[in-house]
Chains A and B, each alone.
Chain A
Amino acid sequence: MTHDHHTHDHDHPHDHHHDNELDPFAARVKALETILTEKGLIDPAAIDAIVETYEHKVGPRNGARVVAKAWVDQEFAERLARDATAAIASLGYTGRQGEHMQAVFNTPDTHNLIVCTLCSCYPWTVLGVPPVWYKAPPYRSQAVINPRGVLAEFGLKLPEDTRIRVWDSTAELRYMVVPMRPVETDGLSEDELARLVTRDSMIGTGLPLRPGSLGPGALWPPEADPGAGI
């Protein structure tokens, strides 16, 4: 933690024969950590735990479990539609910022897409930390102005008469998309179904995988342990 391997030799104005270097951002973060620790406002171990959680534990597989359960359990799906915060919490996934969740369900007529036009509000509880493109200005503006063009960039072409609803997240209310269950999945278990649910399908920039196509985009490589939740 104190030894930063992510230093770079380019842009390096001096000859420092292999000593350490902190780039300006890393140094600023160090400075803030020092101040906040001395003031008793943070505990460095707790900071490490948060990093560990968001790097390795919270991620879209949480959301995939929510979606798969909604696909197999009508009563859960109805609760998810009515009070997503409570339904998601019932699976053990609770928000850290006290935010409310709303699940928006794709139908044959309507496709849903989530965005945060102002910054980067995102349903961390079920999807983890957002991908870089979600936080970047082009997606934040174009998802509202030209959603079909954005979806085309993701290789998603919807029928002309499909309505696209765009949901703009806030700090208090965050959305997740519940995609439609793929066809030819009747015999699959909830775990197997969860493997078909991609991150992008819960943002609305993709669709779930089809059975037998577990490839790029799958949240679990076949050899990974699907039970390794949080």
Chain B
Amino acid sequence: MSAPDPAASSGLPFQLPPGAGPDAPVFAEPWQAQAFALAVALNERGLFTWTEWAAALSREVARPGAAADGSDYYAHWLAALEVLLREKGVAGPELVEALSASWQRAAHATPHGQPIRLENDPEFSRR
């Protein structure tokens, strides 16, 4: 590794992003923290091993088009989680799509300042 610098022979050049100090927040948005915690909790519960998790996440981050600044990292994380939940027979994409849409309708129907509840979805019906 002590060979002369091969001026970035392949791949993307590394540049330290601005504001990348140690004080940068751990998660940029609350959903990222929630998605992170879901994977940790499900692993602890034994739904998948951490090796399975790392393999699923590796597949997602290796897809073409990943952002060079890493800003889409938790989108990959979430995609990996959905893949594992599908593979483990916990939740298929149709259910996730339907419930996501329901949560979005519920949010639209909820007056600002009040907690969003799934029941607020105008199309809500108990499954």
Contacts and interface: CB of A to CB of B under 8 A. Distances in A.
Interface of A: 1-4, 6, 16, 18-36, 39, 41-43, 46-48, 50-51, 54-55, 59-60, 96-99, 118-121, 128-129, 131-139, 141-143, 145-150, 153-154, 160-166, 170-172, 198-200, 216-217, 219
A216 B100 CA distance: 41
A146 B6 contact: yes
Contact of A31 (B61, B67, B100): B100
Interface string B15-45: 1110011101011011111111110111111
Nearest to A132: B70
A147 B79 CA distance: 30
A138 B100 contact: no
Contacts of B37: 47-48, 50-51, 54
Contact of A28 (B16, B45, B78, B116): B78
B21 to A, nearest CB: 6
A14 B14 CA distance: 39
B107 A99 contact: no
Contacts of B10: 141, 145
A30 to B, nearest CB: 4
Contacts of A166: 1
A199 B115 contact: no
Contacts of B47: 41
A128 B116 contact: no
B103 A118 contact: no
Interface string B55-74: 10110011000111111011
A219 B22 CA distance: 8
Contact of B81 (A32, A119, A136): A32
A27 B8 contact: no
A146 B13 CA distance: 9
A20 B112 contact: yes
A52 to B, nearest CB: 9
A147 B115 CA distance: 48
Of all A-B residue pairs in the complex, the 5 with the closest CB atoms, nearest first, are A136-B70, A31-B99, A171-B54, A141-B11, A97-B50
B73 A135 contact: yes
Contacts of B85: 32, 35
Contacts of A24: 100, 104
A101 to B, nearest CB: 14
23 contacts: A2-B115, A3-B113, A4-B116, A6-B29, A26-B29, A27-B103, A27-B107, A29-B78, A32-B81, A34-B103, A47-B38, A60-B22, A98-B50, A118-B62, A128-B26, A129-B27, A133-B14, A138-B12, A138-B15, A146-B9, A149-B14, A171-B53, A198-B22
